[in-house]
Amino acid sequence: MKLSVIIVNYNVMYFLEQCLHAVFKALSGIESEVIVVDNNSVDGSVKMLQEKFPLVKLISNKDNRGFSKANNQGIALAQGEYVLLLNPDTVVENDTFSKAFAFMDSHADAGGLGVKMLDGKGNFLPESKRGLPTPSVAFYKMFGLSKLFPKSKTFGRYHLGFLDKEKIHEVEILSGAFMLLRKKVLDITGPLDEAFFMYGEDIDMSYRIIKAGYKNYYFPETRIIHYKGESTKKSSLNYVLVFYNAMMIFVRKHFTKKSVRSIVFFINLAIYLHAAITIIKRFVKRIFLPLIDAAIIFLGIFFIKGYWEHHIIFPNGGEYPLEFITIAVPVYIVIWLLSVHFSGGYDKPVKLFKILQGILIGSTVILIVYALLSESYRFSRALILISAVWAMITMSITRLMLHLMKLKNYRIGTASNKRIIVIGNQEEAERVATLLKQTSINPAFIGLISVSENSGSNGFIGSLTQVKEIIGIYKIDEVIFCAKDLAAQDIIAQMSDLQSLTVDYKIAPPESLYIIGSNSINTSGDLYVINVNSISKYNNKRNKRLLDLMMSFVFLCIFPVNIFIVKKPFGYFRNIFAVLFATRSWIGYADSKGDQSLPQIKKGILNPVDGIKYRSVSNEMLDKLNLLYARDYKLSNDLNIILKGYRELGRKNI
């Protein structure tokens, strides 16, 4: 057997399916095997593999064993002359394997090989070729010198930026995203070091190959797409800790004690610095606008209060008590900001009416509470109303200023609908166009591009050779390639050719109800999934949680009454606190044997079945109810289910 492909999967079903379609195309005519090790995914990956890829040798773990242990499970079964460790968020070209074998077969000194990798926008990924992270190289990397001087032979050794990315080179470190290894070399080095849970294992294996007397090569004569960052967001605090911990393990394993002491100090310093920067950036990003709003509103009320008390209320002397400005006003501001938040006033893109709505709701809450207070705490109803108007005006002006400054995250209005072209043959292009119309993106324009020059009209606006001109003329935002009709190398070639244009790219796998792509290292992938999108939106998640809290407090207040209405009052009492502490939601999915890979939500006390008249339904109906609930989520749906299933609020859910 020539090749064993080993893929470790963890909750990236969509990427895995696309990866396998490309892998099996590239394996045509090659004696091979594909081994997928699933680390206890909950997104339906295992079922998808069983249904769509019966030839895959599947190892289904019952826990997440990490990248190294899972790969070693596959290596233990591998029978190929070569073993390829491949990430599930990759797409290989049709001739990737044949070209790689030709090189390896002609270079007996080659122990491992890596290829040229591109991200989801066609940009070259510098980690395609890397140098050994010696103490000095690691220092330059951790403190940004390698980024400042990427072409320097001194500072740029981490990514070997001084080497031509279009030429074959002997390198020290291969990327774990695509690591082709000679099996007899693996027999010498042994499998991956399981001390590395994720990250660092590729560096360690590459170094052991060199120590065994073999060489690692960077081979750019074939390319792959690597949707980098799908399993772990590179901007996350968890990534910083895991990555540098892997570096620590590698340093302690391979360097002298003297070197270890110095580099461990710098690694720890880098961890603290990066962690601090990550936390500060997140904190500032989240509170930046609310903090500005609070400060401007407070200053405005302070001056309004001064004028109001000296010229209107107390013209002959006197003033409001200190508690008004130190306690009442901060409480007002908190209520207004929370109300704006839950109304969607801080969502992107900015919608001014959501801000006005939030202030109105917040003011209503303030006035209701105000009416219930004793006379000594009723400072001024007029001041509340004037301050509310001030809040509306200043928050709106702040957004207008940020909009005029053209800051991406503070644009006013609705998100512009995308203008999209779909490249493929007629049947598949039309299928993908239909799929797009059934998702939530509501495209402004969908144009079909034929892969053939002789397409005629047939609904096409042009052919593959005219893509660049079509993008300019039709002002296209996104290009979708039909993988059924275009080979991976043609897709990658198009992405590279169109790289100078500001468009995004996605790939539609054959016979799938989704379109996949990734535009940023900091995203977990951009998916257009048919039917399922509504409940996963941030504002719906937020509103669902708010409803859970509000209903829990209501149910707690009326508990003495409900013990005579609800079937299991003690279970009802227990469920109230389960929802309050976010271990349950009042509404979740119905239990079903089907696996639709729906967006994850908390397990519910009630479910969509409680909202219909007939409670005994088939598994097929359960699947449909769950799908409709996820697709068309509204707060009113939750309220309807609660009302119809009221007596079941004490139900036990395990």
Contact in structure between 119 and 125 (CB atoms under 8 Å)? yes
Torsion-angle region of 107 (φ positive above 0: left; ψ -120 to 50: alpha; else: beta): beta
Handedness of CA 138, 525, 519, 428 (dihedral sign): positive
Contact in structure between 412 and 349 (CB atoms under 8 Å)? yes
Provide the pLDDT for residue 224: 94
Instruction: Please give the Cα distance from 598 to 531 (Å, whole number).
Output: 10
In the sheet that 419-423 helps form, which strands lie side by side, from edge to edge? 460-463, 445-450, 419-423, 478-482, 504-508, 514-517, 526-529
Q: Give me the numbers of helices (H) and strands (E) for the chain, helices first please.
A: 22, 18
Instruction: Please give the Cα distance from 574 to 26 (Å, whole number).
Output: 55
Distance of alpha carbon 302 from the chain centroid? 42
- H/E stretch holding 224 reads strand 215-226
Homologous superfamily assigned to 419-530: NAD(P)-binding Rossmann-like Domain (3.40.50.720)
Provide the pLDDT for residue 654: 56
Per-residue pLDDT tens digits for 476-495: 989 999 999 998 888 988 88
Instruction: List strand residue ranges (DSSP E) for 483-601, in order.
Output: 504-508, 514-517, 526-529, 585-587
Instruction: Please give the Cα distance from 27 to 306 (Å, whole number).
Output: 78
The gap between the terminal CA atoms of the chain, to the nearest Å, is: 48
Instruction: Please give the Cα distance from 376 to 390 (Å, whole number).
Output: 25
Angle between helix 257-308 and helix 381-404 axes, rounded to 10 deg: 130
Angle between helix 237-254 and helix 201-211 axes, rounded to 10 deg: 20
Q: Which residue matches tokens 């940004």?
A: 144
Please name the amino acid found at residue 6. I
Contact in structure between 651 and 605 (CB atoms under 8 Å)? yes
pLDDT block averages, 10 residues each, the chain of length 654: 94 88 94 95 86 94 88 94 94 94 94 93 88 74 79 84 92 91 92 74 87 94 81 52 64 62 65 70 81 94 87 79 89 93 84 91 90 80 92 93 80 74 91 79 85 73 89 90 90 84 86 67 46 66 89 90 89 93 92 66 90 71 80 84 91 74
Residues 6+ apart with CB under 8 A from 278: 235, 236, 237, 240
Provide the pLDDT for residue 184: 94
Instruction: Please give the Cα distance from 180 to 78 (Å, whole number).
Output: 13
Contact in structure between 480 and 421 (CB atoms under 8 Å)? yes
Instruction: Please give the Cα distance from 50 to 38 (Å, whole number).
Output: 12
Compute CA distances 104 → 44, 208, 589, whole Å.
36, 18, 51
**Cα three-residue angle 378-380-386, rounded to 5 degrees:** 145
Residue 345: both structure tokens together: 């006033």
**Cα three-residue angle 63-246-286, rounded to 5 degrees:** 80
Please, what's the largest Cα pairwise distance for the chain? 99
Domain boundaries, the chain: 3-129+165-231, 285-410, 419-530, 535-648
User: Do strands 90-92 and 215-226 pair parallel, antiparallel, or not at all (unpaired)?
Assistant: antiparallel
- Render 170-209 in DSSP notation, one character per residue: EESB--TTEEEEEHHHHHHH-S--TT-SSSSHHHHHHHHH
Q: What is the CATH number of domain 3-129+165-231?
A: 3.90.550.10
Question: Dihedrals φ, ψ of 429, to 5°?
Answer: -65, -40
Print burial letters for 610-622: b (CB count within 10 Å at least 16), e (below 16).
Answer: bbeeeeebeeebb
Q: What letter does residue 607 receive in the DSSP assignment?
A: -
